[in-house]
Every structure is written in C-alpha cells, then in structure tokens.
Chain A
Amino acid sequence: MIRLFDSAREAGGRDPLDAELPAPAPLPIDWTFLLRTRAALGLVPITAPAIVLVPIGMLLGPSALNVLSPNVLAHLDTVISVALAALGVFVGLALDLRRVADRRLFAAASLEAAVTVTIVGGALVLLLVLWHPRLDHAPLLVALVIGVAAAASSAGTVDASADERSLNATRIADLDDVVPILVGALLLAAAWRPTAGGMLWLTLVSAVAGLGIGVAGWLLFERAHGPAERGLFVLGSVVLLGGIASYMALSPLFVGLVAGLFWTYTPGRADQVIRGDLQKLQHPLVVVLLLAAGASIRLDTLALWLIGPFVVFRLAGKLAGGWVASRVATGLTPVDLGALLIPAGLLGLAYALLFWQSTGSPTAQAVLTAIALGTLANEVIAMLVVPHTADTAPQVES
C-alpha cells in the first residue's frame, strides 16, 4: 500500500511546514498535498519547495504574465537580500562546533562541498573554454559560481523521530553550506574587484559588517523587555544585515553567516532566541526568494547548454564528495551520504540569484536559469536515487 506523507521516509524527518499541516490523509490525495514540501505523492523522500514555487515564479515573471515585472523584481531586491541574510544566519546558527563529533562532521561536510566545487567547477571551466561562448565574466569565475551553487545541499530540519543516520545526513547538509558561502563571497568580491587585494578587502568588509551588526543585535536582544520587543530587534537586525549587504554590494549570505556565527558562540541564549524568532519569517522569505528566482529565469542558449552539465556533474560531485567524506569521518557519517545529499535545496539557487542580482549580466541570468532548472532536475533525480530509510538500516561502512 502506498503511504503518502510518511515522515519516516524523509531524510531529516518532517520539516516545519509539514508539521503545521493537518494530519496526513489516506488516499485519495487531498488538496493540501501541493503544499507539502516533502514526501508529496509518496515519492521518496524529498520534494523541495523549489519544485512548486520556481515554476510559479516563472509563470508570474516577465516572460509570461509579467505580474512580477522587472520593476517589481527591482523593488524586491532588498527583500531578497534580507532573505539571503536570513539564510546565512541559519547556516551560522547551525555551525556550533563545540563538540568533537560536530567538528568531525563539519570537516566531512566541508570536504564533501570542496570535492563538489572542484568537480563541477573543473568540468565546467573546461567546457566553457572549449565551447567559447560569449561570456560577461571570466570562464573560471562562471564555472566556480556554478560549482559553488552545486555544492549546497538540502538541509532538512531535525526532529526527534529521525534516526541517527538521517540526523547526520541532515547535519552534513547543513554544514556543507559553509564552504559555498565562503567561496561564494570571494567570487562575488572577485566579480566586483578583480584583483586579489580588492577581493580580500571586500570579503573582510563583509565579515566586519556581519560582526558589527551581530554585536549590535546581541546588545539589543539582551535588553529586550519581552518577546515582542525581542522579535522586533531580531527582525531589525536581519533587515539591517540584508540592507547593508545590498547597499555595499556584499554577499548577504556571508554577512548573515558571520552574524549567525557570532550569535552561536556568544554566551547566553542568543542563538536560540534568533532561531526561534527567525523561524517565523523563514517561510515567507523562502517563498519570496523562490518566486523571484523563478521570475528571473530566461531560457537562452547558454542556459540550455549549462543545465545538463550542471545536473550530471553535480550528481558526480555529490556522490564523490559523499563517498570521500564518509571515509574521512568514519563512524559518524552514514553510508550513501552522497546520495542523501543529491537534493539541491535552496542555498544554491539563492546564491545564483545573488550573483544575478549583483552583476545584472546576461551570463549571470543564464547561470541562474541553469541552476534553477537544474535544481528541479536534481529534486526529481533525488526521488529516484535517494535510498529509503527502511531499506537501509542505520549502518556505518567500515
């Protein structure tokens, strides 16, 4: 019998949106299945919100109904920047490495991400040099941007019902976003300041901005008189992170990551406070991000040529990265780690959107299109390839 909405079959368990929805209904499928971001239609196991919201964004965008016209998208720039900063904060909050096991997981995740960036970036730089399409940026920069976007994986939210294998996979999927954000910030700086000095200076400015706002926000949270006031301060801090990054042409993901990292290591409950309050904003911001990404899609020749390589080499990169990582961090990572990390999730798409938003070049738009459509393809592949929890008992390959 087909079981719809079986949370046990999801890596990382149900996400918060699933938890908010009514209890799973037996067949026939009720209308809410469209809103379920995972396990929809009983397909195993991860269906990301991108698969629904990106096509809706395309439909609403300038290429179709023009509800999200270029003018509207331009007005959404700052909102998108805030959403990206919030994502960065979430990644920073997940980076609590005070336990040895977490440090080992972080090393494995970083290694896996680095392998993916290398494989995808290397293959694409080779192809771009051989194809010789007309690009607005250096082929290496374009290839690495795609590699960085490919390195991010879908991070499920951990709940108590998940097994250790799923927990570790989810944790690695969280932690493998750090390397792409760091490298992505450097690449974005390189797009603006092509010299090594200028690139490092912009990255340093980003870190200082994130740290400064992190400190300011922390001082405010500590003095808040109630949850409402505290929530306002949290919202203000994140808006400030996104706004400053947008104004100074910095990476909001990196600025948010630095702030999130500061809040994680600050004495007190700052990280829990932020996480709790930001979760209220998480879904609206994610929806805006995905709709904007969908609306920014434009199918041109370069984009069509990049989709296939992005999907295939990302698959190879994730499987190879997972294979290497599970042998480095033995005893912690699950077997089939690479396969569990195939769902592309949100961060890669967010980074591609950031690159397009920052440069405004047709090449960046082609990259965004390829990554958006490639992300959808990856989600479909994940349905077929990702192993069922029930099929493979928690095991560690020796």
Chain B
Amino acid sequence: MDAPRRRPALSRETRLLIVTIAVSAVMLLVLARFRFPSDNGPSPAAVAAPLERLAARATFEELAGIVGQLDRRLSGVTLAFRVAGAPSDRGSTREESPSYVPGLRVARDLALAQIGEGDRVQAVVGASDFTPVVVAADAVRGIALVRVPPADVTAPSLPSEGAGGWTSRYVAVVEATRGGTATRPVFLARTTPMLVPRWPQPLLETGRTLGASSGAFVFNIDGTWLGLLVADEAGGAIVPASALLQAVDDMQEGRVRVAGDVGVEVQSLTPAIRRATGASQGVVVSFVDPAGPANGHLRVGDVVDAIDGEPTYSPDTFRVRINRVDPGASVRVRVMRDRAMLELPIAVSTRAGSAAASSGVLGLQLRRVAGIGSEVVRVEARSVAALSGLREGDMITTAGSRTTPAPADLVQAWRAVAAGAGLLVGFERDGQHHVTALEKP
C-alpha cells in the first residue's frame, strides 16, 4: 500500500522565489564590493576586437552620420568662447575682431580652453547673460580654466591607449564659430611623438596635415577625447588629453608653473627692419623694461636671433622660449646689433604682469598732455588696463567725472574705486573716441 505523499509546506513557486531572492541578495552584496574596472567609461570594446577586424570599413556617408551623432553628443560638453585679445605683433587686435575659441567642460561649471596671455574671454556663445571668468591660467602652456554656466554633462572619456603614437585614422575636430561649436571629421595621417619641455608627455606632432586651427579639441570618432591641437613651428601637434587633465589638476590646485620673463617686448621683422639691421631672421626688440633683467643687456632695435641656440622665428616663439625657463635661471640670447652678432647672458625673472590683474594693479604708464589728458605710454600685460583694452598710444580724455585728467588724477580716481566696481575711462584712438571700464577685482 502506497504511503500518502506528503505535500511540502512551501509550494514550488515559493521555494523558487526564496532561492532566487537569496541568490539576488548575495549577488547584490558581492557586486556592490566590486570596483568598476575602467575610469574611462564604457567605450573600450571588451570583446568585439576580433570581429571588428572582419568588419568592412565605414563609408564616407557613414562617417558623416557618425560625426553628426558625435556632434550632438558633444554639444553640452564643448562650448565656444568669444575672446578679445591684446594687440598682436601684426598691429590688429582681437578687440576689433573678436575670435572664437572652443572650450571643453572639465567640471560642471569649468571649461578648459586655449586662452593666451592678454586674451580676454568676453562671452560664452549662446549664453550672453553669463560673464565667463578665467579662474586659473597656465601662461606657459597657454591654457586656462574658465568659469562657465553650470550644466550636468558627462565629461568625455579618454582612450585606453597611451600617447606613444597612433595609427592613421579619422578623428573628429571640434572648433568654435560665431554660432557655437562645430565638429568635422579630419584624416589624421601622421603622428610623431615629440618632446616639448612645457608638457610632461610627448605631444603628437601632426604637421599641417590636420588643417584645423590651434585650440581645437580632437576626439576619436567613438567620442573618446584625444587632446588639444596646438600650433608650433612645424605646424601643429596634439597635446594628449591625459597631459591636459594633469594640467587642469595643477591649475585647480595652484601648482601652475611660474613663467619666466626678461622684461622685453618684441615684434616681427619687416622687410625695412631686415634691411636696416642686416638680420635675416628673428624678432626685433621694441621695448625694454627699465626694471627688467634685460635692461643693460638688450636695447630697442636688437634682433634676437636665438635663445639658448634655439632659433626664434616669431614673437610667439620668443615668448614661449622665455616662458619655459624657470625664474632664476640664465639664458644665452644671440642678437644682431649694429650688423654684428653678440651672445648675451640674461638672468630670467618672474613675470611681473602675471599677477597684475588679480592683484588689481592698474598697469599703466602715462604721460601728461596739457589741455587734453594723459597719453598711454605702456600697458603692462594682463594688468587691469590691458584687460580693459587700453593700449599704447591711446589718449585718455576722461576718468570718471574728471576731464583732461593728469596721470595723478587717474591714479587718484582709480584708488577711489571700491573693490568689484569699475572706473569709466574715455579715450581717443586713431581719431575716434571710445570708452572702457577699468574693473577693480
């Protein structure tokens, strides 16, 4: 006789449920202790590489579609700045013709951009009611962190590979325009690692093959951030994203390298100056700061041919070569003077103007012109006056409520301005009258 089958206390369904919930709870506890393997996000393909080798190459139309999609993805991450700059050696200013520089968000309200010394960030394209502020700058590397309207976007991930050289590929370049940022595909044919003193990692020299402007951000077409395109004598190079992030950390933590300075301003050679000096290359000294270390060594009219044996092709090259030198060190400057070549040792000091703006230094040298006002003789780089757009030769005709101000009147009016306020200054330039504001930090 069969014994009656005992019905289990718990149904199959309930038993299954209990087991599954127990397994889930254990799995949750175990997985919660794991660390996600890559800080660089989900981009690196984990398994697909062997299959991808079999895949057909993308067509141009597909590439356009991919870059279009990438442009949409990067729209919140990248932004465009309108920048006005100090007078250039070509005599034109960005004040007259503002340029547009792309920026890349590295934090919710901070963007990285290539902003040169003396450049002034006027606005973020598309956010005209927000005033961007440069919160930290690295004058040696020519980059800055700019406060931007906050937005919750995810910073782009970095490629998994190192910076030791890349194979030929299509990349996406983000540039700035009047209407915002624009992304376009570019074929990156050649990348040669190149050591540059101001960067801790080798830059990827691209020559002129990239055809993009300096300051553009470069991405892989899968959206990973490759770096920043910078201009050099050879055409262009990409600063790897990892080096830029290190520079961002340095700027945020105040570890920015102090730029060297010799208290000299230079300009490019013109054919007339070449004929007058007999120099074939270099830059001509246009001003020597009487308080600077070059005073007594260099003089106006000298043509600087090389610094420490490295040729100086342009004012930018001269500035970079001097900035790279640590303050306190000495450089050998080769100059052409009176058609003879000299080599002069000059001790490099710290940059006087680098902290001028933040400390509220007016940075003006003025000359009294009776019955008219004060003529600007010199403007210190990155000073309050420089940031306001004043430059040598301007004739200041009003300062606040004072008309035809003498230099002492201007200084007195500036001292009376409270922190955070501004002094309106009227001036004449090239026969036209303008007004600007000297803002006290």
Given contacts A323-B14, A338-B17, contact A298 B48 (CB under 8 A): yes
Question: Are A360 and B62 in touch, CB under 8 angstroms?
Answer: no
Interface assignment of B23: CB less than 8 Å from any CB of chain A: yes
Chain B residue nearest in CB terms to A131: B36
Q: Are B16 and A300 in contact (CB under 8 A)?
A: no
Does A158 have its Cβ within 8 Å of any Cβ on chain B? no
Q: How far is the CA of A294 from the CA of B223 in the complex (A)?
A: 22
Q: Which of B11, B24, B45 contacts A313 (CB 8 A)?
A: B24
Q: Tell me the chain A residues, 100-119 only, with Cβ under 8 Å from chain B.
A: 119
Given contacts A362-B223, A366-B42, contact A316 B13 (CB under 8 A): no
Min distance, Cβ B64 to any Cβ of chain A, angstroms: 9
Contact B41 A362 (CB under 8 A): yes
Q: Which residues of B contact A392 (CB under 8 A)?
A: 12
Residues of B within 8 A of A133 (CB): 36, 38, 41-42
Q: Shortest CB–CB separation between residue A353 and chain B, in angstroms?
A: 16
Q: Which residue of B lies closest to A305 (CB)?
A: B36
Which residues from 60 to 83 on chain A have a C-beta closer than 8 Å to any C-beta of chain B?
62-66, 69-71, 74
Q: Which residue of A lies closest to B17 (CB)?
A: A319
Complex contact A336–B223 (CB within 8 A): no
- Name, among A313, A362, A363, the residue most crowded by chain B CB atoms within 10 Å (CB to CB): A362
Whether A339 contacts B13 by the Cβ 8 Å rule is yes
Q: Say yes or no for A17: interface residue by CB 8 A criterion.
A: no
Residues of A near B16 (CB, < 8 A) are: 319, 338-339, 385
Interchain CA distance A303-B47 in the complex, whole Å:
11
Provide the bound-state CA to CA distance between A301 and B160, in Å: 12
Contacts of B38 in A (CB 8 A): 133, 301
Stretch binding the partner chain, chosen from A22-30, A48-56, A122-130, A203-211: A122-130
B134 within 8 A of A: no
Contact segment of B50-58, B261-269, B366-374:
B50-58
Interface size on B, residues (CB 8 A): 48
Known: A71-B59, A323-B14, A397-B11. A299 touches B47 (CB 8 A): yes
Cβ contacts under 8 Å, B52 to chain A: 63
Interface membership of chain A positions 300-316, coded 1 if the CB is closer than 8 angstroms to chain B and 0 otherwise: 11111100110011011
How many residues in A have their beta carbons less than 8 Å from beta carbons of B? 53
Contact A123 B28 (CB under 8 A): yes
**Interface membership of B46, Cβ < 8 A:** yes
A135 within 8 Å of B by Cβ?
Answer: yes
A323 in contact with B55 (CB, 8 Å): no
Contact A301 B42 (CB under 8 A): yes
Complex Cα distance, B61 from A360, in Å, reads 17
Q: Is A387 an interface residue (CB 8 A)?
A: yes
Contact B37 A361 (CB under 8 A): no
CA distance A66 to B59 in the complex (A): 11
| In contact, A74 and B13 (Cβ under 8 angstroms) | no
* B54 shortest CB reach to chain A, Å: 6
Q: In the complex the two chains form, is A361's CB within 8 Å of B73's CB?
A: yes
A222: interface (CB < 8 Å) = no
Cβ contacts under 8 Å, A131 to chain B: 34-36
A308: chain B residues at CB < 8 Å are 27, 31
- Residues on the B chain within 8 Å of A126, using CB: 28, 32
| Interchain CB contact under 8 A, B73 and A66 | no
CA gap between A385 and B28 in the complex, in Å: 22
A131-B35, A300-B46 are known contacts. Are A323 and B17 too (CB-CB below 8 A)? yes
Q: Which residues of A contact B62 (CB under 8 A)?
A: 69-71
A207 and B34 CA atoms in complex are apart in Å by 42
- Of the candidates A119, A299, A339, the one whose C-beta lies within 8 Å of that of B48 is A299
* Residues in chain B near residue A387, CB distance under 8 A: 12
Complex Cα gap A397–B39 (Å): 50
Contacts of B12 in A (CB 8 A): 335-336, 387, 392
**How many Å lie between the Cα of A69 and that of B62 in the bound state?**
8
Q: A363 contacts which of B27, B31, B42, B155 (Cβ < 8 Å)?
A: B42
Residues of B within 8 A of A305 (CB): 36
In the complex, the answer to whether A316 meets B65 with C-beta atoms within 8 Å is no
Check B36 against A63 for contact (C-beta < 8 Å): no
Residues of B within 8 A of A319 (CB): 13, 16-17, 20-21
A322 at the interface (CB under 8 A from B): yes
Q: Tell me the bound Cα distance from A134 to B42 in angstroms.
A: 7
- Residue among B20, B28, B69, B157 making CB contact with A360, cutoff 8 Å: B69
Chain A residues, Cβ within 8 Å of B251: none
A320 within 8 A of partner (CB): yes
CB distance from B161 to the nearest CB of A (A): 15
- Whether the Cβ atoms of A65 and B55 lie closer than 8 Å is yes
In the complex, the chain B residue whose C-beta lies closest to that of A74 is B65
Q: Does A99 contact B (CB under 8 A)?
A: no
CB pair B56 A335 closer than 8 Å:
no
Q: Does B66 contact A (CB under 8 A)?
A: yes
Q: Can you pick out 12 interface pairs between chain A and chain B where the beta carbons lie within 8 Å of each other?
A: A64-B55, A65-B55, A131-B35, A133-B41, A298-B48, A300-B45, A301-B44, A303-B46, A304-B47, A308-B31, A362-B41, A362-B43
